[in-house]
Structure 1
Amino acid sequence: MINKTTFNENKCEWIDINTTNSEELSKLYEGYGIDSEVLAYSLDKNERAHIDYDESSNTFVLIYNVPNQEKIENHYETIPMTFLVKDHVLITVSNDKNAYVAKMMKQYLSKYPTISTFKFLFSSLFMISDSYFPLVEEMDKDRKKINDKLKEKTTKQNLLELSDLEIGIVYLVSASKQNVVLLEQVRTHAIYKKLDDSEKEQLEDASIEAKQLVEMTQLTSQILQQISGTYNNVLNNNLNDTMKILTVLSILLTVPTIITGFFGMNMPLPLEHNVMGWLITIVISVVLWFTLSLILRKIMK
């Protein structure tokens, strides 16, 4: 599915192709004289954020990390999205998971129909960074809920939910950092010299927004790590207390075992012919048991 939109008094054109079909995308690239090498990473789901510039065809390629707004295994992930600028034509390669970006771009273009191609590109990158924040805020709310549950009871289910949040924030932190590096590379690229003041200003705004996103995701990640570490310590402490109790009980149980075992030997023993010998044996065991328990209590304190 290909959507074409002209703007800036018909001087510029935006083409959005929503596809995962390499043949369909290849035909579009051929029509605009774009190198076939770009085709490979335009459809690669694992492509890292980066920029590329083909001077011979005057094609500027930008791969940007976009949040997938649908949860996968109870956490959010990111996917790459391709932006190409050739002369005054902006081409975006989208799919069902990041089609919402094209909708945001369309709404933005309807408000500002006279912007240039690069300003439209950098404005789109700004909006993508901005789309991360609701997801991070949602994760903060989920983190507070899970933390409250863990304070009441540290269950396996609650710990797994906390783990899902940690996995999700790792994706967002990594993606946002890559985006910041990418925008910094644009500022040091030869293409930057061709931008006008308005386009440079929009690039600066996109860079600031991306850096703010990195700070927010890192803060959330640090809080989650702190919570996870705290409850790991709590579980280890509970385990230590349990082992301590079991150790004390095992020591105390050795007292009657030793005494009864001693009097159970097949040899002449004290109280052997005494009718109350078994009762005396029990009394001795109880006295020694309480004596040992008092000693252990003082040691543990």
Structure 2
Amino acid sequence: MYRHGVLEAEGFPVGNVSDYLTDPDATVWLDFCGPTEEDLAAISEELGLHALAVEDAVHEHQRAKLDRYDSHAFLTVYAATLDDERGVLTVSELAAFITGQALVTVRKDENFAIDEVVARWDAAGELAKNGVGFLVHGLLDYVVDGHFAVVQALDEQIEALEDLVFDERPRYTDMQRRSFELRKSLVRVRRIVLPMREVVNAIMRRDLNIADGEMQPYFQDVYDHVLRASEWTESLRDLVTTIRETQLNIQGNRLNTIMKKVTSWAAIIAIPTAVTGFYGQNVPYPGFQTATGFWTSTLVIIILSAGLYVAFKKRDWL
């Protein structure tokens, strides 16, 4: 609980929230992790939360949004982190009830790093006097910065994938798997980043009285980051598609080159094969009409065939 921007109490029971809110200078933050509707019943009664909003807060996979009700607003956002080694995206959902004096956050799991949000609030204590607007800004700032960091990491991984495309000996299976994972991650990022433009824009509306006065420039900064992340995501999505098409074109060109080489060797070998096959080896040679000659020729065929196979495999022709 903050009063006049100063942290005065924490760790208190839910039943005390209504007592604190009788003071117009008090601002309360309450956090839940993985609650049920029954767990939210007490605070729902304390703050007069709408039943539909409480239901959305409990159920997962809501769209990033801001819904307005008579006594409060309901916010849904997603934090994201990226596994740099595999290019796999991890998403954590958070719902929030925003009233005039209280912010209630509902985390769907432990993956949402709420401690980092608290650290942002503590680092900007001079803004705490702005009440709920200060808390909402810190929450959105953490979420949007996470989106921006994920998009930046995806950009770096896509650049690394570009270098692999033009490698002298590319590993096509690894490239295909990598590009597929990056494309899936980009699709998921796009789903959580694009709606944030509408969310932040709605929060900045003056009739909500959240981004008023001193907090307005800070929310504008968050909105600018949202726009940059959205535009960056769209460009990366097109870039991954271009890389995949380039990879297929290069693979096709290399296949044509390999076919030229193989065809050339086949033509060279076909001439002596045709001559000896037509005339037959009807003159004496080492091992003629002996078992030793048969086994020697068989061994030569096996060795030369194995040598060609190894050479072709090394050059990725097979």
Q: TM-score normalized by structure 1?
A: 0.70
**Given that residues 64 and 195 in structure 2 are in contact (C-alpha distance below 8 angstroms), is that contact kept between their aligned partners in structure 1?**
yes
User: Is the deviation greater in 81-90 or in 22-31?
Assistant: 22-31
In 1, Cα distance between equivalents of 2:107 and 2:159: 34
**Given that residues 77 and 172 in structure 1 are in contact (C-alpha distance below 8 angstroms), is that contact kept between their aligned partners in structure 2?**
no
Pick the aligned partner of 2:106 from 81, 93, 100: 93
Give the corresponding residue for 1:265: none
Give the corresponding residue for 2:46: 31
In 2, Cα distance between equivalents of 1:181 and 1:251: 66
**Given that residues 46 and 79 in structure 1 are in contact (C-alpha distance below 8 angstroms), is that contact kept between their aligned partners in structure 2?**
no
CA distance 1:143–1:190, shift in 2 (3 Å): same
Count of aligned pairs between the two proteins: 255
Give the corresponding residue for 2:162: 147
**Given that residues 86 and 178 in structure 2 are in contact (C-alpha distance below 8 angstroms), is that contact kept between their aligned partners in structure 1?**
no
**Given that residues 26 and 36 in structure 1 are in contact (C-alpha distance below 8 angstroms), is that contact kept between their aligned partners in structure 2?**
no
**Given that residues 63 and 82 in structure 1 are in contact (C-alpha distance below 8 angstroms), is that contact kept between their aligned partners in structure 2?**
yes
Quick one: percent identity of the two aligned structures?
16
In 2, Cα distance between equivalents of 1:69 and 1:241: 39
CA distance 1:72–1:6, shift in 2 (3 Å): farther
Structure 2 residue identity aligned to 1:133 = F
Q: How do residues 7-26 of structure 1 correspond to structure 2 at under 5 angstroms?
A: 7=3, 8-9=5-6, 11-26=26-41
CA distance 1:153–1:186, shift in 2 (3 Å): same
Deviation per residue, 1:32-55 (Å, 9 max, x gap) = 221221122213332111111111
CA distance 1:148–1:97, shift in 2 (3 Å): farther
Give the corresponding residue for 1:105: 117
Deviation per residue, 1:132-163 (Å, 9 max, x gap) = 23323333333333333342433202221122
1:215 deviation in Å?
Answer: 2.4
User: Is the deviation greater in 180-189 or in 157-166?
Assistant: 180-189
What is the Cα-based RMSD across aligned positions, in Å? 3.4
Pick the aligned partner of 2:78 from 62, 65, 72: 65
**Given that residues 77 and 93 in structure 2 are in contact (C-alpha distance below 8 angstroms), is that contact kept between their aligned partners in structure 1?**
yes
Unaligned 5+ residue runs, structure 2? Answer: 7-24, 281-318
CA distance 1:278–1:183, shift in 2 (3 Å): closer
Residue aligned with 2:59, SS:
coil
Unaligned 5+ residue runs, structure 1? Answer: 261-276, 281-301
In the alignment, is residue 138 of structure 1 matched against residue 168 of structure 2?
Answer: no
**Given that residues 68 and 98 in structure 1 are in contact (C-alpha distance below 8 angstroms), is that contact kept between their aligned partners in structure 2?**
no
In the alignment, is residue 160 of structure 1 matched against residue 177 of structure 2?
Answer: yes
Residue aligned with 1:214, SS:
helix
